[in-house]
Structure 1
Amino acid sequence: MAERVYPSAKPAANGAATGSATNGTAAPTFPTNKAQLYNATRPAYRPQPPPRRSKRSICCACCLWTTVAILILLLLAGIAGVVFYVIYRPHRPSFSVTSLQLSKFNLTDTTVTAAFNFTLVARNPNKKITFFYDPISVEILSGDISIGSGSFPAFTHGTENTTNLRSVISSSAAPIPDGTDISPLKSSLKNKNLPLKIQLDSKVKAKVGKLKTKKLNIRVVCDGIKVAPPSGNSTAAATTSKVKCKVDPRVKIIKWTV
């Protein structure tokens, strides 16, 4: 029987041997790796630059963080205000007119002369807050016409303290501004029922523990006063039982200093 001879390598599809002989020995062949097949079709990696943020998005982000910061500050201020109120229980000072006497009054078409004896009571209801007042200017008006002016001296208003302030408010032939309608004032004198309003202006600062405020402008208006004009050398007393005095801070923001 004839002896069979086996080839050293299988022929390739194109007729060439897939393996090559080294030292007379056929080189082994391996199947193609799947990763090599995948990478063969995958495009080369090219790093892309980071996307640029538009000016509009940056502006929106700034507005958002600014709003958040403002809200946080408002929250902290609210908490501080609540804590301050709970600890100190602050109240505005109160004022009342206890006595107003008219001893002289004379009205012409161009001038007015008047003299008042005026007593004002100031009360500080706070247990831990002290007020310091500058000199207080006083003006008495009937309608829109000023019929007397004066002042109270500066004073310190201690905690839970009541202070009586007395002064003479007067005017001597004070000129009436041109164009002022004095007919309502003449009618009141004729009816012996002169309506009056008292206006006080000053500056005040408060002390709370070791903290002091800067000076704050305040105005106190006492309305609803009526008095009959005096006759001869007599003195007329005004009705003050229904007088209400309103304290109006002229500046709403207080800056604290240590």
Structure 2
Amino acid sequence: MTDRVYPSTKPNGTSHPIPPHRQFSCRRCFCLTCFWSILILIAILLLAAIAAAALYVLYRPHRPLFSVTSLRISTFNLTTTPSDDSTHLTTKINITLSAKNPNKKIIFLYDPTSITVLSNSVHLSNGSFANFTNSPDNISIIHTSMGLNSQVLDADSLNSLKSDLKRKNGLPMEIVMDTMVGVKMEKLKMKKIGIRVKCDGIHGLVPKPKTLTPALANTSNAKCKVDLRIKIFKWTF
């Protein structure tokens, strides 16, 4: 009796090539997706540029202007502790600032502001002042009192202060302020952004011992610069 051989039903492992028209269709869809994505992105950027240009033409925005009206040092004491030979700094400083809004149709909305007074990177005082609104073409006057209470100085800071205190024109001082400010243009209110204000060119005089009258600093050459503080993820620029 003759045995019959039947063909196997298992796959023989050979692959079937994708028809050329299907490959072409996939590539075409991918290219079209990229094309329309780039086109939409360009359109969005173009519209944003047009809107920004229109706002600039309508409102002519300018940055706020800050200036130092006066700075008085009422307390400035360096004391040394014999037990550990450490030096402590105690200060009290009164500052008057002016914030000018040079715009005619823009309102600045300030959050509470932190303020630091330094002398060659040595902290002399820390403080803050409350939030305020700066109306168009208006000047806001800010009064603040701040100080340090027995802050320990390292050797480098102490030597720097002692050297600067010997200067004839006074102790070189710098004011640094950080805050968030919002911009309101009629009914349009923009998201708040960070700004940093640096004022230098200040020379402070230390009051004489047992004198109740605060020493007035020389602020005639003081200049303030306003910089934007842009935060991207964890980095601030």
The bucket for the TM-score relative to the shorter chain is 0.7 to 0.9
1:184 has 2:160 as partner: yes
More strand by share: 2
Taking only aligned residues, the RMSD between alpha carbons, in angstroms, comes to 2.4
Hey, what's the Cα distance between the residues in 1 that align with 2:23 and 2:64?
61
- Unpaired runs of 5+ residues, structure 2, are 1-18, 80-85, 233-237
Hey, what's the Cα distance between the residues in 2 that align with 1:139 and 1:126?
27
Residue 222 of structure 1 aligns with which residue?
199
Hey, what's the Cα distance between the residues in 2 that align with 1:72 and 1:135?
38
Structure number with higher relative contact order (C-alpha < 8 Å, ≥ 6 residues apart) = 2
Hey, what's the Cα distance between the residues in 1 that align with 2:149 and 2:22?
83
| 1:115-126 correspondence runs (5 A) | 115-126=92-103
Cα distance, 1:249 vs structure 2: 2.1
Residue 215 of structure 2 aligns with which residue?
236
Hey, what's the Cα distance between the residues in 2 that align with 1:70 and 1:239?
53
2:54 counterpart letter in structure 1? V
Cα distance, 1:182 vs structure 2: 2.6
Cα distance, 1:122 vs structure 2: 0.5
**1:38-61 deviation digits (Å, cap 9, x = unpaired):** xxxxxxxxxx98564165554444
Residue 59 of structure 2 aligns with which residue?
88
Q: What is the DSSP-based 3-state SS (H/G/I as helix, E as strand, rest coil) of the residue aligned with 1:53?
A: helix
Q: What is the DSSP-based 3-state SS (H/G/I as helix, E as strand, rest coil) of the residue aligned with 1:90?
A: coil
Q: TM-score, normalised by structure 1?
A: 0.71
Residue 99 of structure 1 aligns with which residue?
70
Q: What is the DSSP-based 3-state SS (H/G/I as helix, E as strand, rest coil) of the residue aligned with 2:146?
A: strand
Question: Rg bigger for which structure?
Answer: 1
| 1:101-250 correspondence runs (5 A) | 101-108=72-79, 109-176=86-153, 178=154, 180-192=156-168, 193-232=170-209, 233=211, 234-250=213-229
**1:103-123 deviation digits (Å, cap 9, x = unpaired):** 221224532111222110000
Report the number of matched residues: 205
Cα distance, 1:147 vs structure 2: 1.0
Q: TM-score, normalised by structure 2?
A: 0.77
Hey, what's the Cα distance between the residues in 1 that align with 2:71 and 2:122?
18
- Could you tell me the percent identity over the aligned residues? 46
Cα distance, 1:241 vs structure 2: 1.8
Q: What is the DSSP-based 3-state SS (H/G/I as helix, E as strand, rest coil) of the residue aligned with 2:201?
A: strand
Hey, what's the Cα distance between the residues in 2 that align with 1:214 and 1:72?
23
Q: Which of 33, 36, 58 is residue 62 of structure 1 equivalent to?
A: 33
- Unpaired runs of 5+ residues, structure 1, are 1-47, 254-258
2:230 counterpart letter in structure 1? V
